[in-house]
Structure formats: C-alpha cells, structure tokens
Chain A
C-alpha cells in the first residue's frame, strides 16, 4: 500500500471561459485529516467532484488509490431504506453474509442507534441521520472519505456534538478524510491540515498544520489562534495576532 492515497498535481478545471480551480497541488498521507475551507462559490464542490471521479480536471494529474465514499450535507441516505438497510449498503462488497450481519450490528452499536434500526431516515433527527451516513461510509474497507459540508445543515449544538462523534469514530476506524467546510472553527477542531482556498478561481492561499491532539476543545488557545490566523488570511479580520501566539501551528 502506498503511503499517499491521494496526490494532486497542478489540477485545474476550466468550464468554457470560467476557471473554477487553478493549479492545485496537494499530497494527502494515509489517515490524514485534511480540511478545505474557502469562500462560498470558490470551487470547493468542483474540487470534490474531481476527487470523487465524477468530474475530470482540465489539466494536471490526479492519482487516487482505491474507491472513495462521499458524505453529503443532507439527504445522502436512501429514504426508502431503514437505518440498518442503509448501513448494510456500505457492506455490500463483503460476500460473506454472516460476517456482514455481525459488522452491521457492530456499526449500529458504534453509532448508538440500536433502538432505531428499523426506522426510516425521515423519522430521525438531522444528527442521527448524519451518524447513519457516517456509519454507512465507514462500513467496509473503503479508505478515502470525502465530506461535503457534512454538518452544515445541523443546528450549532448538534454540530459541536457531531464533531466529537466524528473524532471518536475515526479514532476507532482510521480513514483518510477530505473535509470541505466553510466553518473555520470546525476545520481547525478536526483537521491535521487546513487548506485555505482563494476566491474563484480557487488556488491554495495557505496551509495550516494543527498538531494539537484530538479531541480538541473549541476554546483551546491553539485552536483559537489558528482560527484567528485563518480568518485574517482570508481578509475577514483586520489585525493579525502576534507571531508567538502561533508558535504551535506551523504555517506553510
């Protein structure tokens, strides 16, 4: 197995006369958590579509190891299937049915929805639905997860809880994650590396490594200073913090 399941080199995507993303180069290590933040409409979804393989770059090269699974903002579950049937979708590749049943049970216990196995998604709360989506994506062996603003449709408190939930899940089932969000706090709280994109055409404006171990408190000074740094980088705040406040975060 390659140590870098995802490598992008000078990826650009041009639609007619509009350049959506320009010369993006990124190497993702196995089980690394990458957050991509950027202004809305900057081409984040274009990038995700290229990463998932549903779109092709106009120029540049992409090397991706194996399949990907996507986690959507909302409504990615099949509404005609129950919780357990939805999660079972993620286990289809396994030909052994008794193994499948055992794994399914594991996953349902893992997301603590034992009492909801036969419920349909529309009967669940938004947070529960996202937990089911995560379980479906984590089922089986697919390593690369693409998350497209997965928590942005949830209310604030649920969003905070889901971040902790995601950290817990990834601790037990490590995966390589590309997490697109417009929520800078969320990016800093979760990611090993935060990639900040520019306005359209999207380029990498800067990259921030966060080394603090997870789970991270939202109010930890390092988290706060990293958020501040990104906000300033994006030109959303006038003043920059003193350099020493950033000493734990390596800025590339």
Chain B
C-alpha cells in the first residue's frame, strides 16, 4: 500500500512539475507535513466519490439496472476481463487512435511548417483550415461510413479529420512565435536550407508542438469512442453502444472507467516527451 501511495504522490508532484508549477512540486517534495496530505487527499476524494456512488445506489433512487452499484461494476470488470472482451476492445481502440493520430501528426506538422514559414500559403489556406477546425468531427460520420464502411477505416478517418487541423494550426502558431533573433543568428552562423530547418526551426517549435500534441491526442481519444459507437464492430466505443442495447449499464461503467484511465495514461506518455533535455527551456522560463 505504501508503494502505491508513493507512486500516486510522485505522479501528482510530477504533474505539477511538468505543468510548470516547480515551486509547488519542490515544496511538496521537501515538506514532510504537506507530503502526508498529498498522499492521503487523492484517496480521500476517491473514497468519498465511491461512498457517494454506493449511497446513491443502495437508496434505490433508480433501479439497479440503470444505476449500477460499485460492487456490480466490480463484478462486471471481472466478467469483461475473463471473457477477454475488454482487452480486445481496448486494443482495437488503441490501434485506431495510434494509426489516425500518427497520420495526423506526420501530415499536419509538415503542412503547419510550410504554412508557418510562407506568408502567401498561410493567407490562402488558413481560413479553410480554420473552417474545418471548427467543424465537429461527428458531422463526418455519415461520410465516413459511406466512404469506408464499418470497422477500422472510418474510425481512423474520423480521428484524422478531428486532429489534423488543430495540429496544423498549432504548428503554424508555434512557427509564427519563433523570435526573429533566432533566424538572424542562424543566418550569421551560416545556417540555411535543411540545416536551418533541423537546427533552428524544428527545435524552436518543439515545446509548443509537444503541448499541442497532448491536446490533440486527448481529442483523438474522445473521437475514437464516438466513431466506434456508430461505425464500429469492436472497440471501447462500440462496446458501450452494444451494452446499451443489451441494457448492461454495469459494463458501460466498466468501459467508462477504462476510457478515462487510458486517456490519462496517453497524456502522461506524451508528457514524458517534455523531459527531453533540449526542450526543457520551453517549460522552465
């Protein structure tokens, strides 16, 4: 139990640290009196939430079939894992998000760079990109099904259209924010062409790009659930829809818990990129 406490504590402190609240993180690491609070508080909130949930469940304000109790959900967890369904759905969803998101990043960042560096292209294309950025990805669902049928492809398509435009816009903004002094210095030190791109432009936008990736990866994870509900035959989103049809709300809660937790894990993984020494400058001043 102590080990788990410690891991939660270090998560909280790391979160502060990497979100820029160094003094807070350091204070909590140093201060013995405060550190027990950090250990206990998250669990207290969690227990309180569970207790509230249980309380609402045993008072039978709603029938158990539409308001499953924590115990029912725990049983649902076991059932889902034993039947291997949860694992399969999780893998299916993660697969789609990885493909769709990788596609968005590998197309969105180069486009963002080009637009950021060329005023003409930026002026021409930004209104269109802004338009698609503000279009709910769910509006694409009918087209996704008509064009790609059911399964991985429509979900990947929806993830792509939902995340590529914010990635482009974020990259354009990052390029526009590069202080001109770096380009002037680069010219004085003989950097041009490819070496200018790899030694100045890309490293200069990295911190902002990583922050942007965190936001867009979160978006992609939200969209995959919606996409699978309508255009899937497996995956966590599809599982929710399937359990809704089977009126298994206990299993829906299981899937909700998994979706939320995996979202946090994805964010944490991208957050690790901010530990790269050559991008720390972007978060520490």
Contact = CB atoms under 8 A, between A and B. Distances in A.
Contact of B278 (A54, A68, A69, A80): A80
A211 interface: no
B115 to A, nearest CB: 22
B63 interface: no
A76 B185 contact: yes
Interface stretch (B157-165, B176-184, B240-248): B176-184
Most buried by B among A79, A93, A120, A122: A79
A108 to B, nearest CB: 17
Interface in A88-125: 89-90, 92-93, 120-122
B20 interface: no
Contacts of A68: 188
Given A78-B200, A80-B206, A89 B189 contact: yes
A120 B280 contact: yes
A78 B182 contact: yes
Nearest to B188: A69
A70 B181 CA distance: 10
A70 B189 CA distance: 10
Given A75-B179, A80-B206, A121 B281 contact: yes
A80 B285 CA distance: 13
B143 to A, nearest CB: 41
Sorting the interface of chain B by its residue count into under 10, 10 to 19, 20 to 34 or 35 or more gives 20 to 34
B21 interface: no
A7 to B, nearest CB: 21
Interface string B60-75: 0000000000000000
A69 B186 CA distance: 10
A120 B185 contact: no
A80 to B, nearest CB: 4
Contacts of B280: 120, 122
B185 A80 contact: no
Nearest to B189: A89
A70 B184 contact: yes
Nearest to A70: B188
A67 B185 CA distance: 12
A91 to B, nearest CB: 9
Contact of B181 (A75, A81, A93): A75
Nearest to A72: B181
B201 to A, nearest CB: 11
A95 to B, nearest CB: 12
Contacts of B127: none
A150 B199 CA distance: 24
A70 B187 CA distance: 11
- 6 closest cross-chain pairs (CB), A and B: A79-B281, A80-B203, A80-B278, A89-B189, A122-B281, A122-B285
Given A68-B188, A80-B203, A122-B284, 18 more contacts: A52-B188, A67-B188, A70-B188, A78-B185, A78-B199, A78-B200, A79-B281, A79-B282, A80-B279, A80-B281, A81-B203, A81-B278, A89-B191, A92-B189, A93-B190, A120-B280, A121-B281, A122-B285
Interface of B: 179, 181-182, 184-185, 188-191, 199-200, 203-204, 206, 277-282, 284-285
Interface of A: 52, 54, 67-70, 72, 75-76, 78-81, 89-90, 92-93, 120-122, 136
16 contacts: A68-B188, A72-B181, A72-B185, A78-B182, A78-B185, A78-B200, A80-B204, A80-B206, A80-B281, A81-B203, A89-B189, A120-B278, A120-B280, A120-B281, A121-B281, A136-B189
